[in-house]
């Protein structure tokens, strides 16, 4: 440990939530975020440069930081990390050496959403389906946004948690009605394999609206997911019908995932779409469709509660929680 680290504020860490376009940074101490800043990835040749710029902006010397957790968009392994949608590469050894770190933790960006559920205040969770969570069972985290993220969280001995990252957004899209099948057929013609993400994300909502208009002979009034949502909120009955179908498909995919991982600890919905239309989502058929299925699976899901996460920066918060647990466990 160098002299700067000896004089650094106790427990102060740097956390980041790094996507293809933006890098969000914050300080983490005592279970709280502070000094949140958003930087454009394209403005910096390397992630080390962005981290240094963040600390400069908040007037913190590099020596104050000795632990870092970065939530990264993409599958995180043991080696170096190359971002899918920007030019940055994280060489773990070089990153630690250049910034003088004693600890560097990389986690998948959606895994950080799972970590966030461990410590989020109740004010950041809106219940959309009543139930009784079982504390010793898995939790499911699912979120339609730019893509469809899915992960699960398992309780471990000693009161800890283990995140299981996955690629659950790419499972087959479930088909449960003739209407579903008609849409699925057109998606298959366009894309071959029809994953859940083909419908349950921003571009997926656009797919759903465009194909639905074609099936029904309706002239489209908008093109983007944001426009579809705004039109639905403004009272357009057709856009609202499409948004309802989106929510019902989310219920089916979330219910299937909950059955697969045994998520009797509850389901947490995040991402950029559902929280934006929270009031409409609460009025939708999601809660009923989630557990309306066979005589065995229906009762299994009957008492599984569902919440929507409304925290402004859950990825940053989850990175902080993940770092805390890693430091306590000595990983």
Q: Write the DSSP symbol of residue 311.
A: -
Task: Tell me whether residue 21 is annotated as binding.
Answer: yes
β-pair type (139-144, 267-269): parallel
Task: Tell me whether residue 262 is annotated as binding.
Answer: no
Tell me the C-alpha distance between 209 and 193, whole Å: 19
Closest CA to 202 of 166, 226, 177, 184: 226
Task: Tell me whether residue 47 is annotated as binding.
Answer: no
In a 3-state reduction of DSSP, which class is residue 107? strand
Task: Tell me whether residue 176 is annotated as binding.
Answer: no
In a 3-state reduction of DSSP, which class is residue 264? coil
Task: Tell me whether residue 34 is annotated as binding.
Answer: no
DSSP structure string for 113-140 = HHHHHHH--GGGEEEEE-----TTS-EE
Are 103 and 327 contacting, i.e. CB atoms less than 8 angstroms apart?
yes
Tell me the C-alpha distance between 210 and 204, whole Å: 10
Neighbours of 43 (CB within 10 A): 10
Tell me the C-alpha distance between 116 and 136, whole Å: 17
Tell me the C-alpha distance between 209 and 186, whole Å: 12
Spatial CB neighbours of 5, under 8 Å, sequence gap ≥ 6: 63, 66, 100, 102
β-pair type (103-108, 67-72): parallel
Task: Tell me whether residue 20 is annotated as binding.
Answer: yes
In DSSP terms, 307 is beta-bridged to 127, 268
Binding-site residues, in ranges, read 16-21
Binding-site residues for ATP, in ranges, read 16-21
């Amino acid at each position: 440990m160098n002299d700067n680290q000896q004089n650094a504020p106790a427990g102060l860490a740097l956390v980041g939530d790094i996507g293809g376009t933006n890098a969000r940074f914050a300080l983490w101490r005592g279970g709280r975020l502070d000094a949140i800043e958003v930087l454009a990835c394209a403005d910096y040749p390397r992630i080390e440069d962005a981290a240094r710029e963040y600390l400069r902006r908040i007037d913190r010397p590099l020596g104050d930081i000795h632990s870092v957790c970065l939530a990264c968009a993409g599958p995180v392994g043991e080696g170096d990390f190359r971002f899918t949608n920007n030019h940055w590469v994280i060489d773990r050894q070089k990153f630690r050496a250049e910034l003088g770190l004693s600890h560097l933790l990389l986690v998948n960006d959606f895994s950080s959403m799972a970590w966030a559920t461990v410590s989020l205040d109740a004010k950041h969770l809106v219940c959309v389906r009543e139930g009784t969570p079982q504390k010793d069972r898995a939790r499911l985290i699912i979120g339609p946004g730019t893509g469809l993220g899915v992960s699960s969280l398992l309780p471990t001995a000693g009161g800890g948690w283990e995140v299981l990252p996955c690629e659950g957004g790419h499972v087959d899209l479930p088909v449960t009605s003739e209407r579903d099948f008609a849409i699925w057929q057109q998606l298959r013609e366009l894309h071959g394999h029809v994953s859940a993400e083909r419908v349950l994300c921003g571009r997926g909502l656009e797919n759903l609206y465009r194909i639905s208009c074609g099936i029904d002979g309706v002239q489209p009034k908008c093109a983007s997911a944001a426009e579809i949502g705004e039109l639905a909120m403004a009272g357009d009955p057709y856009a609202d019908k499409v948004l309802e179908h989106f929510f019902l498909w989310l219920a089916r995919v979330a219910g299937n995932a909950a059955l697969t991982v045994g998520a009797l600890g509850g389901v947490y919905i995040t991402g950029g779409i559902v929280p934006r239309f929270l009031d409409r989502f609460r009025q939708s058929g999601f809660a009923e469709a989630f557990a309306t299925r066979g005589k065995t699976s229906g009762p299994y899901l009957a008492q599984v509660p569902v919440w929507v996460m409304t925290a402004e920066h859950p990825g940053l918060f989850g990175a902080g929680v993940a770092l805390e647990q890693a430091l306590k466990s000595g990983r």
